[in-house]
Chain A
């Protein structure tokens, strides 16, 4: 028997092909790239803001939970339908991709794949810098909702730094606009930036105005090899304090190097303790000089080898191996728990030390890579979901990773968001009142708590990470 709201839904989304009801379809929208599998009662695929507004009005009236979803690449459980209700799939909202060359902005629909925007922008001779590794599969809506970052975050910032304005459907079904198309905008509260990174808990983003910048003229990539992990940490600080601002600065520990070499040999030295990959962009003359400087600094703090790649092909080769880290480490063991705890840059060596201790203490396959330049490390634990004992150790290890990050003055998440996975630790970072203020904002926006419930804020009694059923 269909419930009342389900029948009403069919009057709202007239094309009933865009309301999914059978078990296979429902289960297909019950997961993301993290943990857990749930079953919503309906999946709807709206095409425009009007349909979204109608769905929200109906859901609000009946107090039905709604979970916005892009391509489900979230690593923290953001789009999971924890409590039944409706998954609102935004992937069909792709109508708009307009580039305004005069104002260096782009207006885009939320369901567009990020790399499509990057391509279109590039064709016009501009640059949209945020580059999550998932850019060719994730939606721009998902990127905004998660405030996604990437290697280029160091110099260019994250998605939020490029969002000028939003069109949003509120949980009560009202269509509002925040921000605008100007670079400067100080009118009232900055709702735009409040919505950025709100993980679908405050409203459904239905249109985004992005800021674009001119394309850098050229770039070089530098591979540096270290025999001591601590030296690589020092190299990061020394380069950054020398006044050079690399566009990316990525680190890989020895476990990652080995995994990559086992997976698809890239010619990385398997006996090294760490590798730093540094990218500089800008005027060719300037980066030529900076590259020499980076070379010198790295050697001074103990780099065993420094290779500078200028040609497109050579650079691509260097970065290809970095891209292989994720798949390569997944070969160690099938279940990958990917964290993104972030610390102040100066604390990177200390964080490495803590991570090594956690690795030993819990006897786990823990590897580290990440965006070292901005302190955003990706400790990854490789385990096997079917091994309960191991998963218990993973849960404890992850909790310790979060604690270490917070103790060192860092944060739970540099880019993957809180979702369901990190919510138990929110109070540790923000304090009781800090979290309560966030909660008040949520309650003001969403009085019936229907917008992506169960995310960001811990549920009653939810005090630790649970990965086993």
Chain B
């Protein structure tokens, strides 16, 4: 690694961003991996320094792999940083360089091919998961596993997650979804729903409820069929090119409609949508279109809140706490609205948990590939959740939702505590369903 090649590496790995870090340590207390692993190597400051070391040829690229792969990408450090160091960019650069560098191990290659390369970008692939998940209730997980090749993903702990997946929806119901749902009463807005791939396959009901709530609050809702996966998993695993392709497809799909907003209901997807402009910044014909798309993308909670919240909700006593999605908090910077919506529900006693803004350890497929580390982080989270004595944990992202369910199970609290998506939580209280 000398001369020119080091220069190339510096370009790619985001060396220039590392100079914004003054190594003050302000980001250390908010970092979940620093908390649970207890070494500087797994702190934001440590990771930034290591990227710099690699860029300066003082450390091998391969030595960076573990620190980077064990990062949740939750971006809590970005929120905490007083000098606005763009850790997200540094992480992304590091992943890309690691990805290029890697002679991938066979099992990893298969995983990524199946999970990222095949299933997520294709609606038929996701549909398949949706269908099989439905079939699974009768036939067991083996079928899904065999069909998709997921069994080869050892040492991943998919079996553990299988226990917390939601009840799937019948293919017929999924197929019968329309392309347009008009507002109830006075029309205030026209929006299009970004359905997301996981959301739409495993959390179909949540998407349906999202539509229902939007209609209730006075929004017409389109569901463009041409849309595809947001590309978050591709971006996060260093597949920037693939992510770019998906971004372009989505921008095209939504441009077809005359709408005020593109609404999403999964923090992780929303965060990725907000990155489209950056992702396409090198492509002149797409940059401006991406800018418009990003400007119009909104999380469901902000749209509902701006529409005046949901009226006519059933009053029922319930102790609620909230686990915000990191991508909603730290990337999209939406923190007020979800809580405000929860607090306005009649009968709800809201109790904030300690360190609420800390990642729960779900983080995309982090809990699958880094199972042990993820569970350590989850245990800390549950320790903070328990003192609230909540019956309900509300979340804003499917990944967090599953992780919370996992946490409830690990603590043996299934009888007293449940986890639910904000949208479903609001929907179940609608008086006129």
A and B form one complex: yes
Residues of A within 8 A of B (CB): 20, 22-25, 27-29, 31-33, 37, 43, 45, 71-73, 89, 91-92, 113, 134, 136-138, 324, 326-327, 330-331, 334-336, 384-386
Cα A307 to Cα B66 in complex, Å, equals 53
8 closest cross-chain pairs (CB), A and B: A327-B82, A28-B40, A28-B46, A334-B19, A137-B25, A28-B41, A330-B83, A33-B23
Contact A31 B23 (CB under 8 A): yes
- Supply 26 A–B pairs (Cβ within 8 Å), ascending by A: A22-B63, A23-B59, A23-B60, A24-B41, A25-B41, A27-B49, A28-B40, A28-B41, A28-B46, A29-B40, A31-B23, A33-B25, A37-B49, A71-B25, A71-B28, A92-B38, A134-B24, A137-B26, A137-B28, A330-B20, A330-B22, A330-B83, A331-B83, A334-B19, A336-B22, A386-B19
Contact status of A33 and B22, CB under 8 A, knowing A24-B63, A330-B83, A331-B83:
yes
> Would you give the shortest CB distance from B46 to chain A, in whole angstroms?
4
Contact A24 B64 (CB under 8 A): yes
B1-29, CB < 8 A from A: 19-20, 22-26, 28-29
Contact B50 A27 (CB under 8 A): yes
Name the A residues within 8 Å of B46 (CB-CB).
Answer: 28
Contact B25 A73 (CB under 8 A): yes
Identify the closest chain A residue to B67 (Cβ). A24
Name the A residues within 8 Å of B64 (CB-CB).
Answer: 24
CB of B139 closer than 8 Å to a CB of A:
no
CB of B39 closer than 8 Å to a CB of A:
yes
B35-68, CB < 8 A from A: 38-41, 43, 46, 49-50, 53, 58-60, 63-64, 66-67
Contact B25 A20 (CB under 8 A): no
Contact B50 A326 (CB under 8 A): no
Identify the closest chain B residue to A20 (Cβ). B39
Q: How many A-B residue pairs have CB under 8 A?
A: 83
Q: Determine the interface band of chain B, counting residues with CB < 8 A from chain A.
A: 20 to 34
Name the B residues within 8 Å of A33 (CB-CB).
Answer: 22-25
Further 11 A-B residue pairs, CB within 8 A, beyond A31-B49, A32-B23, A72-B23 = A24-B50, A24-B63, A24-B66, A28-B49, A33-B24, A37-B53, A71-B25, A72-B25, A134-B25, A334-B20, A384-B19
Identify the closest chain B residue to A34 (Cβ). B23
Name the B residues within 8 Å of A331 (CB-CB).
Answer: 83-84
> Would you give the shortest CB distance from B168 to chain A, in whole angstroms?
41
Identify the closest chain A residue to B34 (Cβ). A91
Name the B residues within 8 Å of A134 (CB-CB).
Answer: 24-25
Q: Which of B19, B20, B43, B63 contacts A23 (CB 8 A)?
A: B63
Identify the closest chain A residue to B37 (Cβ). A17
Name the A residues within 8 Å of B59 (CB-CB).
Answer: 23-24, 27
Residue of A22, A137, A331 contacting most chain B CB atoms (<10 Å): A137
Cα A43 to Cα B41 in complex, Å, equals 11
Residue of A20, A27, A45 contacting most chain B CB atoms (<10 Å): A27
Identify the closest chain B residue to A25 (Cβ). B41
> Would you give the shortest CB distance from A339 to chain B, in whole angstroms?
15
Identify the closest chain B residue to A137 (Cβ). B25
Contact B29 A136 (CB under 8 A): yes
Cα A386 to Cα B41 in complex, Å, equals 25
> Would you give the shortest CB distance from A421 to chain B, in whole angstroms?
14
Name the B residues within 8 Å of A330 (CB-CB).
Answer: 20, 22, 82-83
Contact A113 B50 (CB under 8 A): no
Identify the closest chain A residue to B60 (Cβ). A23
Cα A71 to Cα B24 in complex, Å, equals 9
B358-415, CB < 8 A from A: none
Residue of B24, B28, B43, B60 contacting most chain A CB atoms (<10 Å): B24
Cα A73 to Cα B24 in complex, Å, equals 6
Cα A163 to Cα B46 in complex, Å, equals 31
Name the B residues within 8 Å of A32 (CB-CB).
Answer: 23
Identify the closest chain B residue to A23 (Cβ). B63
Cα A327 to Cα B60 in complex, Å, equals 31
Name the B residues within 8 Å of A326 (CB-CB).
Answer: 24, 82
Cα A91 to Cα B42 in complex, Å, equals 14
Name the B residues within 8 Å of A31 (CB-CB).
Answer: 23, 49
Name the A residues within 8 Å of B53 (CB-CB).
Answer: 27, 37
Cα A386 to Cα B20 in complex, Å, equals 13
Identify the closest chain B residue to A386 (Cβ). B19
Name the A residues within 8 Å of B20 (CB-CB).
Answer: 330, 334
Cα A409 to Cα B236 in complex, Å, equals 56
> Would you give the shortest CB distance from A264 to chain B, in whole angstroms?
10
Contact A113 B66 (CB under 8 A): no
Cα A254 to Cα B38 in complex, Å, equals 41
Cα A113 to Cα B50 in complex, Å, equals 24
Cα A113 to Cα B83 in complex, Å, equals 22
Contact B67 A113 (CB under 8 A): no
Name the A residues within 8 Å of B39 (CB-CB).
Answer: 20, 25, 28, 43, 45, 89
Contact B29 A335 (CB under 8 A): no
Name the B residues within 8 Å of A91 (CB-CB).
Answer: 38
Name the A residues within 8 Å of B24 (CB-CB).
Answer: 33, 73, 134, 137, 326
